Structure 1
Amino acid sequence: MIDVNTIDKYLLMHGDCMDKLKEIPDGSIDLILCDPPYNLAKYSTGNMKFDWRSEINNDVAKWDLDELAPADFLDEFKRVLSPTGNIFIFTSYNLIGKWHEVFDSEFDTFQFMVWHKTNPVPNIRKSSFLNSCELIVCMWNKGHTWNFSKQNEMHNFIESPICMGSERLKEPKHPTQKPLAVLKHIIKIASNENDLVLDMFMGVGSTGVAARELKRRFIGIEIDDEYYEASEKRIKATESKV
Structure 2
Amino acid sequence: MSRLINGDCFEFMKSMPDSCVDLILTDPPYNIAQYSTGNIALPGREALNNDIAEWDTVPIEPRELLPDFKRIIKPDGNIFVFTSYNLIGKWHEAFDPEFDTFQFFIWHKTNPAPKIYKNGFLNSCEMIICMWNKGHKWNFTTQNEMHNFFESPICMYPERLKEPKHPAQKPVKLLKHIISIASKPDDIVFDPFMGVGSTGVAARELGRRFAGCEIDKAFFDAARGRIEGR
TM bin (shorter chain): over 0.9
- Structure 2 equivalent of residue 229 of structure 1: 221
Cα distance change of structure 1 residues 53 and 205 upon mapping to structure 2, 3 Å threshold = closer
**Root-mean-square deviation (Å):** 1.8
Aligned letter for 1:157? F
- Structure 2 equivalent of residue 68 of structure 1: 60
State how far apart, in whole Å, the 2-side matches of 1:29 and 1:220 are.
11
Q: Does 1:192 align with 2:184?
A: yes
- Structure 1 equivalent of residue 133 of structure 2: 141
State how far apart, in whole Å, the 1-side matches of 2:113 and 2:47 are.
8
Q: Computing the radius of gyration over CA atoms, which structure comes out larger, 1 or 2?
A: 1
Cα distance change of structure 1 residues 108 and 20 upon mapping to structure 2, 3 Å threshold = same
Equivalent of 1:159, from 151, 161, 164? 151
State how far apart, in whole Å, the 2-side matches of 1:23 and 1:56 are.
35
- Aligned residue runs from structure 1 range 49-198, under 5 A: 59-198=51-190
- TM-score normalised over the length of structure 2: 0.94
Aligned letter for 1:178? K
Percent identity, aligned pairs only, is 63
Equivalent of 1:34, from 22, 26, 38? 26
Where in structure 2 are there 5+ consecutive unaligned residues? none
Q: How many aligned residue pairs are there?
A: 229
- Structure 2 equivalent of residue 4 of structure 1: none
State how far apart, in whole Å, the 1-side matches of 2:129 and 2:44 are.
35
Equivalent of 1:219, from 203, 211, 216? 211
Query: Contact 1:110/1:137 (CA < 8 Å) preserved in 2?
Result: yes
- TM-score normalised over the length of structure 1: 0.90
Cα distance change of structure 1 residues 56 and 78 upon mapping to structure 2, 3 Å threshold = closer
Cα distance change of structure 1 residues 236 and 45 upon mapping to structure 2, 3 Å threshold = same
State how far apart, in whole Å, the 2-side matches of 1:47 and 1:62 are.
15
Where in structure 1 are there 5+ consecutive unaligned residues? 1-8
SS at match of 1:165: coil
Q: Name whichever of 228-237 and 118-127 sits farther off.
A: 118-127
Cα distance change of structure 1 residues 56 and 28 upon mapping to structure 2, 3 Å threshold = closer
Q: Does 1:210 align with 2:202?
A: yes
Runs of 4+ in 1 over 3 A off after TM superposition: 46-50, 52-59
Q: Does 1:201 align with 2:193?
A: yes
Q: CA deviation at 1:85?
A: 0.7
